[in-house]
A and B are shown apart, each in its own frame.
Chain A
Amino acid sequence: MILAKIYVCLKPNVLDPQGKAVTNSLRQLGYSSVEETRVSKYIEISFHTTDPEQARREAEQICRDLLANPNTEHYHFTLEEREDGQA
């Protein structure tokens, strides 16, 4: 089994109101050195294959087809080999 760890993030030029709210809260908590926060999505997909190239192709296609909106988001992912049944 291969596990894809996928990050879908807002592009740098897109305003992130959630990130701004988190930054404000962190400053209220005293974390005065916090410059900026960006809130993103993290998605795990496990593939029933041992072929990393196949998993990479499919993960790439899945990101383009559904997970990321190319207008506002970019994505990147890593692949890890896992033994079957291991989360």
Chain B
Amino acid sequence: MSVITFPGSNCDHDALEVFASRGHAGRLVWHKGRDLQNPDLVVLPGGFSYGDYLRCGALARFSPIVNEVLAFARRGGLVLGICNGFQILTECGLLPGTLLMNSGLDFICRHQHLRVENPSTPFTEGIPPGAVLDLPIAHKDGNYFCEDHVLNELRETGRVVFRYCDASGNTIPQANPNGSRDNIAGICDPSGRVLGMMPHPERSATDAVVSQDGKRIFDALERHFGLCG
């Protein structure tokens, strides 16, 4: 797998480390590169690419490597955008909508429950639908916005992959940390092979941290590739 490092990325090593700890070959690819190095999966990591100047992810979209990521996605490659990576995926058009500033204006850094809405993507394969994950969130611009017709399409085609919820799995407004439409925490493209999510599975997938629910997403990816039962 390849993790793209943009100027200002700060979760690139975390993502790489999770895959390395599970025995997978991976490498960081600098954003000015033009070679993804033939990965099975590309991760656009969290952080503050280009200092979040203009809009989050807006400038990263013009990094040379992003054209390679677009071509990789068009060929059916798996792309996972986490936090700033999700913002970049919307800016470069692989995913619809926009991540606006949190409705409460605060940078939110805490644990958050989310519910798995679509267990048939490569990133959620084998996770029971409705499963509740406890993952960290850390963002100021995670307020997912899209027009009504886009929201309807996302709902009708199962492209809402994760929703913010309470500990019991209720996707109520009170469990929505940032004002996202329909409590959306993560969406995928029509093929299910490009996923953007604000929460950080890579920060909760090693034995050193309290919640290890992020492992369930990496387990799912391994199932997808036939690497475990």
Question: Which residues of A does B touch, CB under 8 Å?
Answer: 14-15, 17-18, 21, 66-67, 69, 71-72
> Once the chains are docked, how many angstroms separate the CA of A24 from the CA of B161?
36
In the complex, the answer to whether A71 meets B101 with C-beta atoms within 8 Å is no
Contact with A along B86-119 (1 / 0, CB 8 A): 0000110000111011111100000000000000
Question: Which residues of B does A touch, CB under 8 Å?
Answer: 54-55, 58, 62, 90-91, 96-98, 100-105, 143, 145-147, 179
Contacts of A69 in B (CB 8 A): 55, 58, 91, 98
In the complex, the answer to whether A15 meets B98 with C-beta atoms within 8 Å is no
> Once the chains are docked, how many angstroms separate the CA of A35 from the CA of B96?
32
> Once the chains are docked, how many angstroms separate the CA of A85 from the CA of B54?
26
In the complex, the answer to whether B100 meets A14 with C-beta atoms within 8 Å is yes
Q: A17-B105, A18-B101, A66-B58 known; 15 other A-B pairs, CB under 8 Å? A: A15-B103, A15-B145, A17-B102, A17-B143, A17-B179, A18-B105, A21-B105, A66-B54, A67-B54, A69-B55, A69-B98, A71-B97, A71-B145, A71-B146, A72-B100
- A and B contact pairs by CB, cutoff 8 A, 23 listed: A15-B100, A15-B103, A15-B179, A17-B102, A17-B103, A17-B104, A17-B105, A17-B143, A17-B179, A18-B101, A18-B105, A21-B105, A66-B54, A66-B58, A66-B62, A69-B58, A69-B91, A71-B90, A71-B97, A71-B98, A71-B147, A72-B98, A72-B145
Lowest 9 A-B CB distances belong to which pairs? Answer: A71-B98, A72-B98, A17-B105, A17-B103, A69-B98, A17-B101, A21-B105, A69-B55, A72-B145
